[in-house]
Structures are given as structure tokens and as C-alpha cells.
Structure 1
Amino acid sequence: MEVLPPSLRHSPWKALSKEDLEKQYSPSRWSHRLNAEEVIKAHVQVGKEVTKEVQASKKSVLGVSYGAGEGEKLDIYFPAKTSEELPFFLFIHGGYWQEGSKDYSAFMVPPLIAAGVAVAVVAYDIAPKGNIDLMVSQVRRSVLFIQKQYSFNRGIYLCGHSAGAHLVSMVLLTDWTLHEVIPNIKGSYLVSGIYDLEPIVHSYINDKLQMTLEDAQRNSPMFCQKEVQSQVTSTCDLIIAVGQHDSPEFHQQSLDYFQVLRLHGWRVSFIEISNVDHFDIIEKLMQNEYILTQTFPLHFLLLVFLV
């Protein structure tokens, strides 16, 4: 594991009081639409409604096991016209590694299946049952499962929101040569993510996670670049997105990670999305006119029909 030099680290958070640090890492307190409690309730409600609707589809296959663990399940949503060469979009939900569920995270399914893309929404063992290392391992296994089951796919695209963006980032650093197959990862969308876990260790968020400083450093993609990263840098396009109404720390983490990825040769773009907070930045994926929604189908359709 290569640790980036101190000059590339962002650490002004260390000068913050505990109260200010916890405010920076409390996304619900920065919403421009609703108060902290209301925005979380609204997010869950919207997610439940859209997920219930798409789960009723004849083309959905729910509760598929990608591993032996009880929590290692995923839901797959197929487009009306299927083939062995579909692109697959895997979504990893957020919730600070201790909340969230695949059962209210299918925001992006309607526009993507309409564009001919299969979508898998992945569950993993959240804390306190799961720890960070286990969650990274589980998401990695979900990717490997899709590759093995659908080996003729036209590309696997990973998307993570918040803590899910962190998990996707760690999975991208996998040495795939140690596994049975190398997944056909073509793109990754990191939405309002956290890429340096050290601030989390010093906040209330760690009460359930119980991360040590060593755990945080080992699982911070901001500072961990492995030699095997070249396995995917040449084939994977990344988009890092953050909402206008995410906190300053979330903005800084996204910008810092964008710069780190560019330094290490990734094909990466950065987007700050206007007039969204930490929650509706992902909720709006159900809208065809939304900037990220438009990015997904265009990218996929070009691959399906032009490659």
C-alpha cells in the first residue's frame, strides 16, 4: 500500500471543535429544503415508494444471494429487451455504513432499464453487524458475482452514494488477479462520498462502527493507491459528483479525491450539481431530465450500439 505524501492530504478538519466536526459530517443539517429530521424521513419515504413500484416489475429478480452471508443479497432489474450482452449498473447505498437498505434505494431503475441497462441494487451488512473491512469485501463479491453470472456483459458500472461511494472507491483498488475473474468495470459514479475516514473516527458516527485509526487509514481510498490500480485505470471512467448543499467538508473530500485520482492516472471528471443536497442528489436519478440521469443512459447507449 502506497501512502500519499502529507502535502496531498486535506486535514483542516483537525482544527475544528468536536461540535463543528460533527456538524460538517451530519449531511442532514445542510439541507436547503427541510430540517435534519424531515429530510431523512422524506428520503426514506421517496425511496420506498419508487422501490416498491419497480420491485413489482415482472423483470425484477429479488433477494439474489451473491455470497453465503445472510445480508449478502442483491435485487436485479432487467430491461424489457434482454440479451447476454447487457451493460450492468450496480448501486451501493449510503447510510454511514450503519443505515440504509436496498429496499429503498432503487431510484435510478426506471430511466436505466428504459435505456436498456440492467440494474443491481446491492445490500451489505451494516454496522454493528458488519465492519468496514467486511462491507468492502461484500461489495467486491457482489461485483464478482455479476461478472461470473453475466460474463458476456457489455460493461459493469458502479455507483455509490455517500458511504456507498466510499465502498465503491475501495473496491476499485482491488487486486483482481487474486480472484477467479477480472470484472469488466467500465465506469464508476461516486456521489457525495467520503474518501478519508479519519474524521469519522473522532465523531459520533463511529459509535456503532468502532473503527480504529488503523482501520480508517487502511480503508481510506484518499491515501491508498496500490500498484494493481493500473488494472482498471485504463478502462474505467469515473465521475465524482457533489451537491451544492453538501457540507464544506464533503465538498473538500470530493475535490481532494478528484485531484488524487487525476494524479494517479484515472480518467476522472468532477461535477458540482446545483440546487441539490446530500439526499436529493441521488433521489433525482428517477428523473429523466436530471444531469446524472442523462449521463448514465447516454454513456450506456453509446456502448451498446456503437462498440
Structure 2
Amino acid sequence: EMGDPDELRKGEAPWKKMSKEELERQYTPSRWVVRLGAEEALRTYSQIGNEATKKARATRRSLLNVPYGDGDAEKLDIYFPEKMSEALPFCMFLHGGYWQSGSKDASAFMVNPLTAQGVTVVVVGYAIAPKGTLDQMVDQVARSIVFVQKQYPRNEGIYLCGHSAGAHLAAMMLLANWTKHEVTPNLKGFFLVSGIYDLEPIMHTSVNDPLLLTLEDAQRNSPQRLLEAGLAQPVDPTCHILVTVGHHDSPEFHRQSREFYQTLCRAGWKASFKEVPDVDHFEIIWKLTQPDYVLNQMILKTIFHEF
């Protein structure tokens, strides 16, 4: 007899039983790569991001460093498809880096494959720690979306794609208060890639050194916790949320993704879950440079309603 699954869920989270060393290992994605060493994986990831961005800037019409606010980091890059039109779908990409590294200037992974299919891609910059706080980053992402909606009011849908910490920031947009921003963006889909949705375990790792999250900060910024508490209802029944995790991501990343997906389903969102075969935490996003990659295909099918 298993008992009530909800009661089971309220049992202690598995991370609470882990030693400090094990928790650190679970939340250090480079320790789980299978093909390269940790350092080499991180280096390759940066290199591919840099090259993809150079290529996108050389081959696509773009508007670079467009300010969406007054802060130094509050800038975004817009890459257009060949066929220009007012009514295009927009895919906005939020880079990862544990809220403390990474940059829009090395994150144009998806630009060429998506613009080739008629999607405008926006790569968003935000103020990483220690300069920016998590609350500021969440606010910046909301304002970047509002900016795109106001600039391109006839868009055919805004889709948010976030990787790792970027997936967390994207997920927080499910809870955004758009009335405060005086415009409700036409959000039609979320692609959450290898994300973290409950920040509490992060507080007990070195990830928190530059973030300085208190328990209150972590709870206020945990989409997992906020959705469980029933703080957001789906507004648009056609809005699709795709939660993905890499086959070689750590068990904690797997647990976080699966639990967030289950919570979305319980809360009535239209969600699907995909474990991407044979990729680690970095390959899952750098492969977006390849047009035939399964994740690109899923993103395009969602944007062009080919289900």
C-alpha cells in the first residue's frame, strides 16, 4: 500500500538527505558530462556559443544591443528571418550560467536554424550576479518580453526558451503580473531546457556564493513552489509548455524537471515532457546549432502548430 501520492510528495525532498558534497556534485552539471572532461565541456560550450553568435551576426539581418531598459545589461539582440513581415513568431532565448555567468553575446545557438524557418529570434541579456540580484533578473526578463510585445504588437506569438538558469527565469514568467507592465504579451509557448525550478537546494551549494539567496528569496523565486501553492492559473489554453532534460543531466536535474512538469499538469497547463536522448547539460543546448536536432524540430512544430 503506497498511500496517498500527494502525502508521499509532501515527504522530505531527497536533496535534504544528501551530504553537502553530494548536493554540490548534483548541482554541478559539468561533473556529469560523459564525452569530455568537465573543463573541456565548459570550454567547448562557450566556443560553440561564440561561433554560433559570430555566424548569426555575419549571416542574418539583426538589431544588436537594443536597450529594453536603462540598466547596462538591459539589452537584447534581434535576428530576423529572410522573409520580413510584421506578423512573425518570436522566440526569445534566455541563456544559462547559474545566474552568474554567460552572456547574450555567446548564446545565439538557435538563431540560424530558427530564422531559416521564418522565426525571429531574440537573445536577451540580463544583469548576472553579483551585479544583479535574482529579483532584478526576473523583472528584467519580464520587461524584455513587454518590450518585444510593444515593438512588434502584431507578432504571431512570443515563445520563451530558457536553458538551465534561463529556464528558471522563463518559468517565472508563468507567474508574472502583466497588469503592472500595462501590456499582456502574446505568450504562446515555453521551452524549458535542463532547468531548476526549486531554488532551495541551491542555497546549500557554492552556486549561492555570488547570489546570496536567503530562504525567503529562494521561496519567492521558486516556480515549483509558487505553482504548487496555486498562485498562477493558465490564462491561455493554447499556450504549450515543453519541459526537457538531458539524458546525462544529474538525477537532481531530472527530479526537478519531472516534478515541475507534474505540477504544471496538475495546475491545468498544457505541458509535455521530453528526456532528450544521449545529451548532457551542455550538448542539449549547443546542438540547437544543428537544424535537424530533435529539440529544434519540437520547437518548430510547437510554433507552427504541427501536432
Q: TM-score range by the shorter chain?
A: over 0.9
Q: Are the aligned partners of 1:233 and 1:265 in contact in 2 as well (CA < 8 Å)? A: no
Aligned counterparts, 1:96-245, within 5 A = 96-225=98-227, 229-230=232-233, 232-245=235-248
* Cα 1:302/1:269, change in 2 over 3 Å: closer
Partner SS state of residue 13, structure 1 = helix
| Aligned equivalent of 2:278, options 275, 279, 285 | 275
| Aligned equivalent of 1:81, options 80, 83, 103 | 83
Letter in 1 for 2:180: L
The answer as to 2:262 corresponding to 1:259 is yes
The equivalent of 2:48 in structure 1 is 46
Letter in 1 for 2:273: F
Partner SS state of residue 232, structure 1 = coil
**C-alpha distance in 2 between matches for 1:130 and 1:231:** 29
The answer as to 2:288 corresponding to 1:294 is no
Q: Is there any run of 5+ residues in structure 2 with no aligned partner, and where?
A: 1-5
Q: Are the aligned partners of 2:32 and 2:250 in contact in 1 as well (CA < 8 Å)? A: yes
Partner SS state of residue 56, structure 1 = helix
Deviation at 1:181, TM superposition (A): 0.7
Deviation at 1:151, TM superposition (A): 0.3
TM-score of the superposed pair, with normalisation by structure 1: 0.94
Q: Which digits, 9 at most, give the CA deviation of each residue in 1:96-115, with x for residues without a partner?
A: 00000111111101111011
| Aligned equivalent of 2:25, options 2, 23, 26 | 23
Report which structure shows greater RCO (CA 8 Å, sep ≥6). Answer: 1
Q: Is there any run of 5+ residues in structure 1 with no aligned partner, and where?
A: none
Q: Are the aligned partners of 1:89 and 1:157 in contact in 2 as well (CA < 8 Å)? A: yes
Letter in 2 for 1:56: A
- Percent sequence identity is 57
* Cα 1:79/1:157, change in 2 over 3 Å: same
Partner SS state of residue 222, structure 1 = helix
Letter in 1 for 2:293: Y
Q: Are the aligned partners of 2:192 and 2:242 in contact in 1 as well (CA < 8 Å)? A: yes
**C-alpha distance in 2 between matches for 1:10 and 1:158:** 32
**C-alpha distance in 2 between matches for 1:199 and 1:149:** 38
Deviation at 1:56, TM superposition (A): 1.9
Deviation at 1:297, TM superposition (A): 2.1
**C-alpha distance in 1 between matches for 2:292 and 2:12:** 34
Count the aligned residue pairs. Answer: 300
